[in-house]
Amino acid sequence: MSEKKIPYKIYLSEDEMPRVWYNLRADMANKPAPLLNPATLQPMTAAELEGVFCKELVAQELDDHTPYFEIPREIRDFYKMYRPSPLVRAYCLEEKLDTPAKIYYKFEGNNTSGSHKLNSAIAQAYYAKRQGLTGVTTETGAGQWGTALSMACGYLGLDCRVYMVKCSYEQKPFRREVMKVYGASVTPSPSETTEVGRKILAQFPGTTGSLGCAISEAVEAAVSTPGYRYVLGSVLNQVLLHQSIIGLEAKTALDKYGVKPDVVIGCAGGGSNLGGLIAPFMGEKLRGEADYRFIAVEPASCPSFTRGAYRYDFCDTGMVCPLAKMYTLGSGFIPSADHAGGLRFHGMSSVLSQLYDDGLMEAVAVKQTDVFAAAEEFARVEGILPAPESSHAILAAINEAKRCRETGEEKTILFGLTGTGYFDLVAYGKFHGGEMHNFAPTDEDIARSLAQLPKVD
Amino acid sequence: MSEKKIPYKIYLSEDEMPRVWYNLRADMANKPAPLLNPATLQPMTAAELEGVFCKELVAQELDDHTPYFEIPREIRDFYKMYRPSPLVRAYCLEEKLDTPAKIYYKFEGNNTSGSHKLNSAIAQAYYAKRQGLTGVTTETGAGQWGTALSMACGYLGLDCRVYMVKCSYEQKPFRREVMKVYGASVTPSPSETTEVGRKILAQFPGTTGSLGCAISEAVEAAVSTPGYRYVLGSVLNQVLLHQSIIGLEAKTALDKYGVKPDVVIGCAGGGSNLGGLIAPFMGEKLRGEADYRFIAVEPASCPSFTRGAYRYDFCDTGMVCPLAKMYTLGSGFIPSADHAGGLRFHGMSSVLSQLYDDGLMEAVAVKQTDVFAAAEEFARVEGILPAPESSHAILAAINEAKRCRETGEEKTILFGLTGTGYFDLVAYGKFHGGEMHNFAPTDEDIARSLAQLPKVD
């Protein structure tokens, strides 16, 4: 390779780090549908939400018109421990694929939580602390969010109780241990510690759990413990707001070099990474200033965009949460336990759901073994061992770059590399050992689950 | 915290990345003693060494007068995947310790190998590839070196056979798995696959192995396989040469801000990180241009500097390697298996041994539980979960900063944060569970081991 005009890694200086988060909803003509109170079917009020969430976060959750929110200095100081994160030009991958495409990825894995989740964790913990709360509860699937929240709470001196989806709890013992280093308590979900947990266990003995179950337990624990609130690592508008720092940094870095992506690709579970990465680009598209293609990549085992319905549904299995309008497989949907990593949530961010429904974004579902093959190909040329979640985006980016090889198009591809796979080596081992399989729900599975949706629309 | 003049993280641009390695030996008045042929007790010739090591690396090993070696472009390209590495100002740690000291650390953990080892792995793999070899063999203790070499070989398409110290092989199953992702074969050592392994197993049945055993096996495998050479991750002069990039980057970054460290601290097992970190600073000291304090931090369980002898010894347990003059506990010394992490080598780099013997460097031995307590304190305020090895340096830096709190001195402390502890969570778990103990050899243990040293001096 010859010397490059664009460096392998573009690092913004700390001065160039965004001082505001961008609220994509402000530029949406069709606003995402409001959260509904399941009892009254009326939009949730701030007062109702403040029993579950911190006051400041409720304000962010409900605000669909303020375009920018200032990032408090304390949060920016914390961000500086691991941000700005690098935007990497994937020269080695391009060469390996022999493609005329130019591939960039925004790498969010260079922190101990191993993912982008820390961006919202510190924000949510900060507002809880500022409100004078004692602690927070949450759920975690693959473990990134729980680790991130543990780190943020450890830093601020806030109690942290994590309900961890049981199959991840068992598959990823080291994740539990990291959370403990940062002082969190970790309970496998469903558990006997909550009413909703006991109910789910009675109904589905031996269940390996789901994010939906764990959310129900964490919410119950929060509302029944004085001085506690619940925090969530994805799906919510506030989380996408905090995660906009990913896209804002990526865009600033690309702008510095006069680069404009043709297509922006992200993995999608609840939508936190994808929503954050695309935010400023989608904003330009919504305002008619530029055009981009956006691709959400989801697992074939949990295909909410590509096979779900755009309906009001509960975010949790226990049906204790407000109703959100979203692409959903039904809150009773539990993805195959053999699926490694996260992206196992039955629904999708309301913001992203509306954009997808408006035809502003594409979605594709991919098979697990293809994802791990892409992960390994990537690791060997780019060095980084990617998280299985992130590897969904890697696979889609590689496929796009291969199409460019066929057509000769010099497309610029930007994708989100949300994290590292250091805690996913059981899954990598299964892949190597030929013990990894592909699962997808049948049409009947999905129809059965969707039939249970609340009758709202 | 207010806005800072010096950023939290100083990233050099890729253009500022060093284009040469610095050979500290060129500035040493007392050169490190040469390797000796154990049969003749004469200095090893290039021809003799080339049966074990690549030609180019032998030239680097023997050259004690050329101050700079150009880094080949291919290696610089690889470096750009994860370098320049950040120099971090530990503002949060300073605040937590309430110290007037200014603490900086050079963080080498932001790559999948999780440590600085990749700096020499890519260099050694590159020269092997350029010589037209088929593959390389090596040993690994904690697993960082094996992972690093696997990554380098995976990138260049070179076979890689790793002998992994048995207790690490068992304690760190995920390390094995990462190496396999990168295409390496991994054998627990001592093994039945080599003559020397079978001999050691017969003599010490049930041994959990040591780096010294694993080196013997890897060397035997290399010399008995056509097209193979042996590579080593520490101790050797060539390794310290490659690792000088750590110190060169750190010094360039500090110089940009007009900062001069008073004390430079690094953990020391075989000496690769410490030798690399201190190189350009020690060079200034040797040339009389500046003065610095240097502190080597070693585990109390394997205290080669503080309790060993400066003598000619074998680098390996099987006594198949050349003799090196170094601070050593004796090649038969096997540190307690309860000691977590690396730094378990019985000897120390000849370069560092000579500097220490000349009074140019200090050394301190620390207890394992103190190391993990420092690691956890660091993780909670600086975010990064440190490797146990690196945490030896953290502990010494914290102790130095606490002394500054007592005396009011505003010292500038630079330490090497060699890597991350993502694969060390079994050890962290033991620490939390109160199951971690401190071991140190008795004087009799060391005397018995030293009595076996070859009679050379």
Residues of A in contact with B7 (CB under 8 A): 13-14, 80
Contact flag A183-B382 (C-beta cutoff 8 Å): no
In this structure, what DSSP letter does residue A34 have?
Answer: P
pLDDT tens-digit series, residues B94-123:
999 999 999 999 999 999 999 999 999 999
**A204 confidence band (pLDDT: 50, 70, 90):** very high
Q: Which two tokens stand for residue B260?
A: 């001069």
pLDDT tens-digit series, residues B40-52:
999 999 999 999 9
Q: Which two tokens stand for residue B220?
A: 């035997």
Nearest CA in chain B to A427: B177
pLDDT tens-digit series, residues A298-310:
999 999 999 999 9
Helices first, then strands: H and E counts in chain A: 18, 15
B256 Cβ under 8 Å from any chain A Cβ: no
Contact flag A9-B14 (C-beta cutoff 8 Å): yes
Contact B235, B270 (CB under 8 A): yes
Spatial separation of the C-alpha atoms in residues B106 and B98, rounded to whole Å: 21
Q: How far is CA A343 from CA A142, A268, A356, A425, B419, in A?
A: 8, 6, 17, 17, 29
Q: Which of B91, B177, B380 sits opposite A182 (nearest CB)?
A: B380
Spatial separation of the C-alpha atoms in residues A234 and B324, rounded to whole Å: 57
A95 Cβ under 8 Å from any chain B Cβ: no
Query: Which of B70, B68, B71 is closest to B26 using CA atoms?
Result: B68
Contact A187, A160 (CB under 8 A): no
In DSSP notation, B249-314 reads: HHHHHHHHTT---SEEEEE-SSSHHHHHHHHHHHHHHHTTS---EEEEEEETTS-HHHHSEEEEEE
Residues of A in contact with B428 (CB under 8 A): 177-178, 180-181
Query: How far does A280 lie from chain B, in Å, by closest CA?
Result: 26
Average pLDDT over residues B210-224: 91
Residues of B in contact with A112 (CB under 8 A): 379, 383-385, 420, 422
Query: How far does A81 lie from chain B, in Å, by closest CA?
Result: 7
Spatial separation of the C-alpha atoms in residues B421 and B383, rounded to whole Å: 12
Query: Which of B93, B70, B80 is closest to B19 using CA atoms?
Result: B70
Sort strands B135-140 and B228-230 into parallel, antiparallel or unpaired.
Answer: parallel
**A241 confidence band (pLDDT: 50, 70, 90):** very high
Sort strands B20-22 and B68-70 into parallel, antiparallel or unpaired.
Answer: antiparallel
Amino acid type, B22: Y
Q: Is the pLDDT assigned to residue B168 strictly greater than 90?
A: no
Q: Is the pLDDT assigned to residue A134 strictly greater than 80?
A: yes
Q: Which two tokens stand for residue B386?
A: 């440190």
pLDDT tens-digit series, residues B271-290:
999 999 999 999 999 999 99
Most confident of A139-153, A173-187, B21-35: B21-35
**B261 confidence band (pLDDT: 50, 70, 90):** very high
**A426 confidence band (pLDDT: 50, 70, 90):** confident
Nearest CA in chain B to A150: B380
Contact B393, B269 (CB under 8 A): no
Spatial separation of the C-alpha atoms in residues A271 and A142, rounded to whole Å: 15
Residue with tokens 């949790």: A316
Q: Which of B8, B77, B381 sits opposite A155 (nearest CB)?
A: B381
Q: Is the pLDDT assigned to residue A8 strictly greater than 60?
A: yes
- Residue A306: what pLDDT? 98
What pTM does this model have? 0.94
Amino acid type, A33: A
Contact flag B177-A92 (C-beta cutoff 8 Å): no
Spatial separation of the C-alpha atoms in residues A39 and A37, rounded to whole Å: 5
Q: Which of B75, B81, B88 to mutate to test the interface with A (most CBs of A within 10 A)?
A: B81
B19 Cβ under 8 Å from any chain A Cβ: no
**B2 confidence band (pLDDT: 50, 70, 90):** very low
Contact flag B80-A384 (C-beta cutoff 8 Å): no
Contact flag B111-A383 (C-beta cutoff 8 Å): yes
Query: How far does B77 lie from chain A, in Å, by closest CA?
Result: 8
Contact flag A181-B82 (C-beta cutoff 8 Å): no
Distance of CA A445 to the CA centre of its chain: 24
Residues of B in contact with A8 (CB under 8 A): 14, 77, 80-81
Q: Which of B7, B174, B381 sits opposite A425 (nearest CB)?
A: B174
pLDDT tens-digit series, residues B384-442:
999 999 999 999 999 999 999 999 999 999 999 999 999 888 889 999 889 999 999 99
Spatial separation of the C-alpha atoms in residues B279 and B21, rounded to whole Å: 10
Contact flag B429-A384 (C-beta cutoff 8 Å): no
- Residue B204: what pLDDT? 92
Q: Is the pLDDT assigned to residue B1 strictly greater than 50?
A: no
Residues of B in contact with A110 (CB under 8 A): 110
